[in-house]
Structure 1
Amino acid sequence: MSNDSKMNRVALVTGAGSGIGRAASLALQQAGYLVVLTGRRSGELERTSEMSGERGLPMRAIPADITVSADVRRLFDNIRDEFGRLDVLFNNAGANAPAVPLDEMTDEQWNAVVAVNLTGTFLCAREAIRLMKTQDPQGGRIINNGSLSAHTPRPFSAPYTATKHAITGLTKSIALDYRKWNIACSQIDIGNAATEMTERMAAGVLQANGTVAIEPRMDVEQVGAAVVYIANLPLNVNIPFMTIMATTMPFFGRG
């Protein structure tokens, strides 16, 4: 990596091998960022990189399991060694559990969601903060992927909803505790972006009143554009919380 390339703005996207992570990675690259892609599936990360074509700076795929502390440290050591800094972390990777009542849920189902949605976000944020505090110029931005479930649940979504509520607390704590190091922290709450994860919405999903209804979805590229908008703000400006959703999906009045 040349010295000139170290001056590029560097962004890391977790869960970059599909859906929102892929769309955000491509949008950040088009906006001029050198994008580091991470996730567990190296083939899908390479596919994201291939989709970028010649639209901007090359992408760098570094597979990692964000639930494993040693993996996360290795990921950030690579970023520090290769690029010298990190300007934006998009904590996007997420997981869900089967839609079953809480009393029917297994320990393994609960722990798997907490490991990715909460612990993984913490591990990546911790390493990002350590790098952002010591790099020159100091500071950077962390964007956490929340959810409309950070505000109100869907039926039978206890682990997902609990972790997304926790992300709100983590976002507020980071935003408060690291201001003096010029680190800004935001949360983006997304409703029904059209990805593989939300294909079931188009077929109809359970509503709070017990009915099953088809829910509108929105183009995932709109989410990528929103992430870029937050990322491009100067560090003395922050959007602590942004909600972006399909206009007519059942959110207001849910339940």
Structure 2
Amino acid sequence: MPEITQEPSPETRRLQGRVAIVTGAGSGIGRAAALAFAREGANVVVAGRRVREIEETAGALEAEGVKALAIPTDVSRSGDIEALIANTVRHFGRLDCAFNNAGIEGVFAPITDLSEEDFDQVIATNLKGVWLAVKHQVAAMLQHGTGGAIVNTSSWLAKGALAGSSVYSASKGALDAMIRAVALEVAERNIRINNVNPGIIDTPMLRRFVNDETAKPWIDFTPAKRLGRPADIGDVAMWLCTDEARFVTGQSLLVDGGYTIAGMR
């Protein structure tokens, strides 16, 4: 079934004139979220390691009638994060929203087969990278003084389990715990922080593990009877940054078509 997206009018765009950062914006969930922010009127800074892909995303955003800026960024490097935030504020004058989506799957294998390097690589991007981004995004929002909203990509694996995912699951479970603490720190300054926890989503990352045939068991187990689409997650990340979610903070929201609760039946 084709996706139907209703084009908002300029008068009703929920993020009109705001400035958003989306990391991991070159493809998949990040690109879908960046497009969702743009459709709602936000100017968007797209960040990622693959220059060609983030530049393509920026071009697609400008076709939506907003301003876009592509900044190559490796979120595991503190210097890259600092430069991303500084360049955003320098270019647009402020930061209102951020979706920290960049992440890697790492190696899925029994814990006895994993190396310390396997652990460090995933934690550096999925946990430390988000911690660094949140740290500097909060500082920018505090400096401007008008508050803001931050969303991070976690995973259903922070709630469920899959054999071989010990490192990836650790990175996402820690992320869910982290945002609860940060939410308490910044709530009185009108800054909200939440996570979105995708289920089985049809992204380039998933396709490195499965094809149409091997995806069937995942689909059959999901009550919604389909794989998730990047826009299913991107739209929720965007919504969490709108005023409609103004009383939501410190939450990790499963968006999985019922996949996680299916195991409880």
TM over 0.5: yes
Q: TM-score range by the shorter chain?
A: 0.7 to 0.9
Indicate which of 128, 131, 141 corresponds to 2:137: 128
Aligned position for 2:10:
none
Tell me the matched-pair count. 241
Check the 8 A contact 1:95/1:113 in 2, yes or no: yes
Aligned-pair CA distance for 1:133: 0.7
**Counterparts of 1:233 and 1:43, CA distance in 2:** 33
| Cα distance change on mapping 1:97 and 1:176 into 2, 3 Å | same
1:175 aligns with 2:183: yes
Write the letter of the residue equivalent to 2:233. V
Sequence identity percentage: 31
TM-score by length of 2: 0.85
Aligned position for 1:243:
254
**Counterparts of 2:197 and 2:130, CA distance in 1:** 15
Indicate which of 186, 196, 209 corresponds to 2:204: 196
1:253 aligns with 2:259: no
Indicate which of 2, 6, 12 corresponds to 2:21: 12
Aligned-pair CA distance for 1:95: 0.8
Q: Which runs of 5+ in 2 are unaligned?
A: 1-15, 220-225
Write the letter of the residue equivalent to 2:140. L
Q: For residue 56 of structure 1, give the secondary structure of its aligned residue in structure 2.
A: coil
Deviations 1:74-131 (A, max 9, x none): 1111112111211111011111122211111012111110001000000000000111
Aligned position for 1:77:
86
| Cα distance change on mapping 1:65 and 1:246 into 2, 3 Å | same
Aligned position for 1:227:
237
Check the 8 A contact 2:156/2:260 in 1, yes or no: no
**Counterparts of 2:81 and 2:100, CA distance in 1:** 12
Aligned-pair CA distance for 1:156: 0.4
Check the 8 A contact 1:141/1:235 in 2, yes or no: no
Deviations 1:132-171 (A, max 9, x none): 11104x2111101111011122110001100100001111
**Counterparts of 1:106 and 1:97, CA distance in 2:** 11
**Counterparts of 1:218 and 1:171, CA distance in 2:** 24
Check the 8 A contact 1:183/1:235 in 2, yes or no: no
1:212-223 counterparts in 2 under 5 A? 213-215=217-219, 216-223=226-233
Aligned position for 1:4:
none
Aligned position for 2:7:
none
1:91 aligns with 2:97: no
Q: Which runs of 5+ in 1 are unaligned?
A: 1-6, 206-211
Tell me which stretches of 4 or more aligned residues in structure 1 moved more than 4 Å.
none
Aligned-pair CA distance for 1:241: 2.8
1:113 aligns with 2:122: yes
Aligned-pair CA distance for 1:243: 1.4
**Counterparts of 2:79 and 2:154, CA distance in 1:** 24
| Cα distance change on mapping 1:155 and 1:83 into 2, 3 Å | same
Check the 8 A contact 1:16/1:38 in 2, yes or no: yes
**Counterparts of 2:122 and 2:214, CA distance in 1:** 23
